[in-house]
A and B are shown apart, each in its own frame.
Chain A
Amino acid sequence: MQFSRRRKNHVANPQMELYGHALQFYGKPPLENISLTEFETFAVDRLKLLKIVESLGVSHVKLSEPYKHKLEYESKVLNLSHRLSTVRADEYEKRRKDHISHFILRLAYCQTEDLRRWFIQQEVDLFRYRFNDLYPEEKLEFLHINNLQYDRISAEEKENLKSELVNSSAVISGVVVEDQDFYKVPFQDALDLVRTRKVYLKAGYVYIPHQDIVAIVLNDFRTRLSKALALTARSLPAVHSDERLQPLLNHLSHAYVGQDYSNQKNVGKISLEHIDSLSGKSFPLCMRQLHQALRENHHLRHGGRMQYGLFLKGIGLSLEQALQFWRSEFIRGKVDADKFDKAYAYGIRHMFGKEGKRADYTPYSCMKVILSNPPSQGDHHGCPFRHSDPELLKQKLQFYKVSPSGVSQIMELVKGMHYQLACQKYFELTHNIDDTSFSLNHPNQYFVESQKVLSGGKDIKREKDPQSSQETAAARRSTPAQTTEPGTSQELTETTADLTPFFNDA
């Protein structure tokens, strides 16, 4: 994986055997020399594509028509399409770009576990889309070129397992079983099919119908990429010694999350008494839900403590405040102060990078909340738009005084699995604005934007409706200090005023 420092002629040796197929397994690194400008543009273009893959994966059903359509369009724009070009020379250039850009991002994304996971996920999704889009003969050719061979089961075995095979897949009927080839592979080689129970599993082997063979190929792709990244990480010090590449690579790897909201410039500017009122005003639904659960149960389980704790850190709670906040709530429940200090304080210091490997953890993005660690029994974390029963969500929105038409708009977005858009709609409705100028992808962004709106439109708001519609009955109920309604509204105004200078320049 060496890219020359010297600017050399673009036209490298024809490596047509390297680019024999429109789709690549990225087995061999590029060996040619490329210019720094090309290095940068290739990398940035691929990163753009991967970010598109990521956001499409959240807003659409993977491999649905609109998903494929949009991805095809974007790939074309970036000249990273796998579709055959009409001009032969273009085709070569495109494959070369695909190849080189993949390897550059490997360098940028091998450094930490988080980066690796993100990169693998997007590359795998991209590969899945591309592979699925191939014609059947191209698929076979691809398998052949890359030496991917799998064991086919005999007609007799197929007959014996017929009913199990039929019941293991939504798309296989009895007739299809007879015409189709089934492959028998160890379950470790088709994890995605095992995970989703889309395949018959017996004694450690899965029986995969030919049409699902992409699963094994993908699994293979993922395993190889994961191993390759681990190897790349080891050779990284050599690359980092190049002072021209290092900043570029670092820049690339930071680009994936957008702003991470770990910025600590608000530290200590939030006072604990304001959290209840802020939770009604400016917290996204997920955090409001966690806050309410915490106030009611005087406890949150691990997933909830992480999601909410890091969010609070992001909006500006200091470590001391965080400890005080959690302790005062927990000791009202079953946990005494001693137990809190032993069992929970460590975790909070850990969040602030004061324990263990001393990593300064960043607040969770919407993507992370939606996709990883779904809530289970006793949990209140997750994304309410993703992880609530629609009926409960509806009730909750009504309870928070969202208008009936607003509720149905939100529910429509939820139904289409546009969870972030649903949350954004919720933002618009609760802040009385028609169109937000940002695209929501982080709970802390929600908070910052909300504070912006509330501080900017403060005077107008007060004239119009001092008791604005989205104040929560719940927040008031759970804070004895603020039982009277006028008190609450005054409190809110004060908070907003306090925060104004800190969020105007955010």
Chain B
Amino acid sequence: MSSSDYDPACLPDLLPLYYRRLFPFFQYYRWLNYGGVQKNYFQNREFSFTLKDDIYVRYQSFSTQNELEKEMQKMNPYKIDIGAIYSHRPNQHNTVKSGTFQALEKELVFDIDMTDYDDVRSCCSAADICSKCWTLMTIAIRVLDRALRDDFGFQHLLWVYSGRRGVHCWVCDEAARKLSVAARSAVAEYLSLVKGGEETVKKVVLTEPIHPFISASLSEVERYFKQYALKGQDILGRKESVNKVLALVPEDVRNELQIDFKNEKNPEKRWDLISGYAETKQHTAKKNQHFEKEIMLQYCYPRLDINVSKGVNHLLKSPFSVHPKTGRISVPMDVKELDTFDPFAVPTISLICEELDQPRTGEVGEKSEDIKENEKDAAEKRRMRDYKRTSLAKYVKYFDQFLDQMASSWKGELLRKSGML
């Protein structure tokens, strides 16, 4: 089960098997076709493939599910990215007059990457993650999921594990897909609280009054803060990490805390001291009065790569693409089971390919049915059944549920349209 089972050198051998027997093309097409409500929605969508040796092929597009399957099985991409829906077929973008080929729509997407938290996690850095810092992703999903649903009114949110160190969110509502660049950046900025680069120490500054969005986000963060930051990361334990925290409080409080901390070594008690000062400060001072909230947010609040969300034409790694370094499949995540999601339990391509070779059980009954079907259906059936025999099954099942919910929304749309005809 561990990723040590996966050897990147085997990827060229495993990919053909994966695309031939396991990749859930049916669901994938069902998703991107969006019920066929809009003409050419799937056909004008850009896909881009990363092939062996980092060869990057942009502006791929396909007219049918079958064409997509054939091409993926032929190219065996190491990585698949999804782009925008364009005004023309992306694979013909060179044939139309320049300037008329334009990105029109795309899901509103968010990309949260663990490397952006390097200044506030002590367990790992860069591309590494562990179960300790994974909590940051859990918090990020909780905060954003709530805000996108309650504040912005979106319903169809697909959260996807990126396969290595982060998560993606695809907001699939029709209204979200139609957002302008300006609207996307406004949404992303509304959702951003942590600001500043290497030259900024204090990255969260709150002002009165605290916006309902911030209050709601804080209560999500609070659920995890003690366990994650105080126990897991021990931010009030070691001297240098304590100093980092103290750099975020007003000077007078910092001096007092430094004295208090000499006698108090317990991180949770130390945090109580900080909260205590914040409490008193709130009644007296006007400025810098929310420093304990600011600390919590700086350490835990989701850090968005805003440029990914802004652009309509920005590419993002596709669900069910394989991560070439870890071999893990980019799988949809069920937010209802978020707290038990374990990135290290996500199947690798080698695992599911191995599972295919396990002896089949309880299939005798089905076999007789197969004979009656024509050949194409049989192939389709076989693939459906193939992934069901692997650890990929539960993720595809969740994806199915997600699509069913979305389908009910476009069914209404289709009915309306046909009624008008």
Chain A residues within CB distance 8 Å of chain B = 164, 166-170, 187-188, 191-192, 194-197, 200-205, 222, 233, 289, 293, 342-343, 357, 373-382, 384, 387-389, 391-393
Contact = CB atoms under 8 A, between A and B. Distances in A.
Interface in B65-91: none
Interface stretch (B2-10, B26-34, B206-214, B354-362): B206-214
A265 to B, nearest CB: 30
Nearest to B184: A191
B303 A376 contact: yes
Contact of A191 (B99, B115, B151, B182): B182
Contact of B213 (A197, A289, A380, A382): A197
Contacts, number: 118
Interface in B98-145: 98-99, 115-119
A380 B185 contact: no
A378 B213 contact: no
B183 A191 contact: yes
B290 to A, nearest CB: 13
Given A167-B211, A373-B307, A377-B119, 20 more contacts: A167-B209, A167-B212, A167-B215, A169-B209, A187-B186, A191-B183, A194-B190, A196-B189, A204-B153, A293-B198, A375-B197, A375-B199, A375-B200, A376-B197, A377-B116, A377-B194, A377-B197, A384-B199, A389-B201, A392-B201
Nearest to B102: A230
B151 A380 contact: no
Nearest to B306: A376
Given A205-B153, A342-B54, A164 B200 contact: no
Contacts of B183: 187-188, 191
A170 B207 contact: yes
Given A167-B211, A376-B303, A378-B118, A201 B199 contact: no
Nearest to B100: A234
B197 A378 contact: yes
A208 B213 CA distance: 16
Given A200-B212, A205-B153, A382 B190 contact: no
Given A167-B211, A191-B186, A195-B190, A382 B307 contact: no
A201 B54 contact: no
Contacts of A168: 209, 211-212
B412 interface: no
B201 A382 contact: no
A343 B195 contact: no
Contacts of A374: 195-197
Interface string B337-364: 0000000000000000000000000000
A470 to B, nearest CB: 20
Chain A interface SS verdict (over half): mixed
Nearest to A203: B153
B303 A377 contact: yes
B197 A381 contact: yes
Contacts of A388: 199-200
Nearest to A188: B183
A232 B209 CA distance: 44
B209 A387 contact: no
B162 to A, nearest CB: 17
B46 to A, nearest CB: 15
The 10 closest A-B CB pairs, nearest first, are A204-B153, A375-B197, A379-B197, A203-B153, A388-B199, A191-B186, A195-B186, A167-B209, A377-B116, A195-B189
B196 to A, nearest CB: 7
A196 B99 CA distance: 32
Nearest to A206: B151
A41 to B, nearest CB: 32
Given A191-B182, A195-B189, A376-B116, A202 B151 contact: yes
Given A194-B187, A195-B189, A380 B199 contact: yes
A378 B115 contact: yes
A384 B214 CA distance: 28
Contacts of A164: 212
B335 interface: no
Contacts of B53: 342
B190 A197 contact: yes
Contact of A382 (B99, B197, B207): B197
Contacts of A187: 152, 183, 186
Given A167-B211, A167-B212, A194-B187, A375 B196 contact: yes
